[in-house]
Amino acid sequence: MSGDTQQTAAQYIQHHLQNMTYGKFPEGHDLAGQWGLAHDAAEAKAMGFMAIHVDTMFWSIFLGALFLFLFKKVANTATSGVPGGMQNFVEMIVEFVDSSVKSTFTGRNPFVAPMALTIFVWVFLINFMDLMPVDWIPGAVGWMGHQFFGMDPHHVYFKVVPSTDPNATFGMALSVFMLTLFYSFKQKGLIGFVGELTLHPFSSNNIVLKLAFIPINFVLEFVALIAKPLSLSLRLYGNMFAGEMIFILIALMYGGGWIAGIFGGFMQLGWAIFHILIITLQAYIFMTLTIVYMDLAYQTNEDH
């Protein structure tokens, strides 16, 4: 907690930025060769690539399942008469996403609209966890770890915002990237896709110049291609990480006395209200860029 005298401000911040990491302890560790939860950032790093961020996986799966459950429930109980509040809300989101797809995606693919809807709602729910008080859930998990497993609460880590974990944002962005590559190959074929990377943006009717432009075009187009998943993931991660950091810094004020606590409370309220716009905007941007990338996958050379 922010008022815990056993933790300095730096330790408090580091604790809230550390994921609950499960992996295999490396050679040289007392538990070498065994699998378990890391006790600090150094152990988490030493576990390497195969380690799993338990908190990120839990919240991502839970919120994805929550989205499916709520929308499926509304679909099963939908009425053509006077709709209830939840049905109105879901219909509003569906119509909003559908209009975004129709205005951006020029191809014909029934998969794009459901994917856009899933991305928008799922990313919004993931981002919405940033509005939870920073100490509540991690504190509860730390208390349970101490009560039931005898663990030091300061060594129990539990982040509640998956989008502040670059592994989550990169995973989503790479999934979108692989889909765009798949549909690019499907629509254009290997020759068309290679031509897209090598014959644009510079071209010439002169065969010598055309061949000379190929490596230049490839470098430019390849960089642009790789930049798509990087920008998609880093934009979401950077904005959400910054927002979470501000909430953590504000929470530190609660340990500085009642005057600082009251001031921190007003700051937290103001930032939370503003942050509602940020989490919604980031979900919309992620969805819109996904639609744009899918549309680019359907464009032929003549469309460029």
In the chain, where the domains are located? 9-303
pLDDT tens by residue, 209-260: 888 999 999 999 999 999 999 999 999 999 999 999 999 999 999 888 889 8
Mean pLDDT of 190-216: 88
β-pair type (52-53, 21-24): antiparallel
pLDDT for residue 178: 96
Contact by Cβ (8 Å): 12, 44: no
pLDDT tens by residue, 70-87: 999 999 988 877 778 899
Rounded to whole angstroms, how far apart are CA atoms 27 and 237? 32
Contact by Cβ (8 Å): 222, 236: no
pLDDT tens by residue, 98-142: 999 999 999 889 999 999 999 999 999 999 999 999 999 999 999
Contact by Cβ (8 Å): 149, 143: no
Mean pLDDT of 4-14: 76
**Whether the predicted model's global pTM rises above the 0.85 cut:** yes
Contact by Cβ (8 Å): 163, 240: yes
Rounded to whole angstroms, how far apart are CA atoms 264 and 250? 6
Active site residues: 231, 235, 239
Q: What is the percent of the chain where pLDDT is above 90?
A: 68
Structural tokens at position 129: 């966890």
Give the number of other Cβ atoms within 10 Å of residue 248's Cβ. Answer: 18
Of the two residues 81 and 171, the one the predictor is more confident about is 171
Evaluated on CA atoms 99, 295, 289, 160, the torsion sign reads positive
Give the number of other Cβ atoms within 10 Å of residue 138's Cβ. Answer: 23
Q: Running DSSP on this structure, what letter comes out for residue 28?
A: T
Rounded to whole angstroms, how far apart are CA atoms 278 and 123? 12
Mean pLDDT of 5-21: 85
Q: Which among 200, 203, 204 has a CA at the least distance from the CA of 224?
A: 200
pLDDT for residue 6: 59
Helix ranges (H only) for 78-165 are: 85-104, 112-128, 136-149
The confidence band for 4, taking pLDDT boundaries of 50, 70 and 90, is very low
Partners of 23 in beta bridges: 36
Contact by Cβ (8 Å): 290, 119: yes
Rounded to whole angstroms, how far apart are CA atoms 181 and 59? 28
pLDDT for residue 256: 82
Instruction: Answer whether residue 281 shows pLDDT above 80.
Output: yes
Q: Work out the mean pLDDT of the chain and round it to a whole number.
A: 91
Evaluated on CA atoms 117, 119, 120, 125, the torsion sign reads positive
Structural tokens at position 301: 């050379």
Structural tokens at position 113: 């609209």
